[in-house]
Amino acid sequence: MITFDKVSFSYNEKQILKDISISFEESEVHGIIGLNGAGKTTFFNLLCGYEKANEGKITYNNHAIIKSEISFLETENYFYPKLTARDFLNVFTQTNTSFNQDKLVEIFNLPLDELIQNYSTGMKKKLMLLSYIKQDKQVYVLDEPFNGLDLEANKTLEIIIDILKQKGKTIFISSHIIDPLLHVCDKIHYLNNKTFAKSYRKNEFHLLEEEIFGKLKSRLKTDIGLAF
């Protein structure tokens, strides 16, 4: 169980997250959604131990979060220039015994002997995914993992996420598009007004769009009607 107990975080006196109290079950896929600026990335940084809460505490099975227990795929990734994809993957020791690099490289269609600087955004994303899957962690945090992926890679990632869950891993995913989360998540948590406004179980996913965007759609319909 990962627990946030009255957690708040401010940056340069600006409140980003406030009084968050929520628990996340293990061996489940948790979707984190919210509008731009809602604090999703800050939440992930706190979860992974990259930032320290100003107030409250975060625990994993009743002990403090340890960075080595978590794998964090950030939205933007940096690669050293003049490095091939093969060289990059060789940096990471394989601890995930079920990982088959050759098969996934084939599925992702990645030319490993090409310089990473020549890769497209989607190819870089797939390469970084491979490097994280090689490592056997208990918690995987994926910040916008579907961004830049083609249809086949999207489906492959969905399958990989499900396999990780079946192996008892806990996965957190953010996405600016709800649809991918509906396919892979057990729960989706809505971050709004600096805290989690509501959590939705799979049987409640049909309520998500209306509850979150209902007022926006109503306002737009009214404004468009007035304008035209």
- Each residue's pLDDT tens digit, 79-97: 888 899 999 999 888 888 7
Average pLDDT for the chain: 88
Predicted TM-score (pTM) of the model is: 0.87
Q: With cut-offs at 50, 70 and 90, classify the pLDDT of residue 67.
A: confident
pLDDT at 224 over 70: no
The mean pLDDT of 21-38, rounded to a whole number, is: 92
The mean pLDDT of 155-167, rounded to a whole number, is: 88
pLDDT at 129 over 60: yes
- Nearest Cα to 169, choosing from 193, 194, 137, 195? 137
At 219, which helix (H) or strand (E)? Answer: helix 208-227
Percent of the chain with pLDDT over 90: 45
pLDDT at 151 over 90: no
Query: Sign of the CA dihedral 96, 139, 187, 44?
Result: negative
Write down the H helix ranges in 21-150.
40-47, 85-90, 101-108, 121-133
Q: Which residues are CB-neighbours of 147 under 8 A, at least 6 positions away?
A: 75, 125, 175, 176
- Identify the pLDDT of residue 228: 46
The mean pLDDT of 93-115, rounded to a whole number, is: 86
User: Could you tell me where the beta strands, DSSP code E, fall in 12-157?
Assistant: 14-24, 29-33, 55-60, 63-64, 70-73, 139-143
CATH for 2-82+136-227 is 3.40.50.300
- Identify the pLDDT of residue 65: 81
- Decide: 31 and 185 in contact? Cβ < 8 Å: yes
- DSSP letter for 47, please: H
Helices 121-133/151-166 angle, 10° precision: 10
Q: Which residues are CB-neighbours of 40 under 8 A, at least 6 positions away?
A: 32, 33, 34, 143, 174, 191
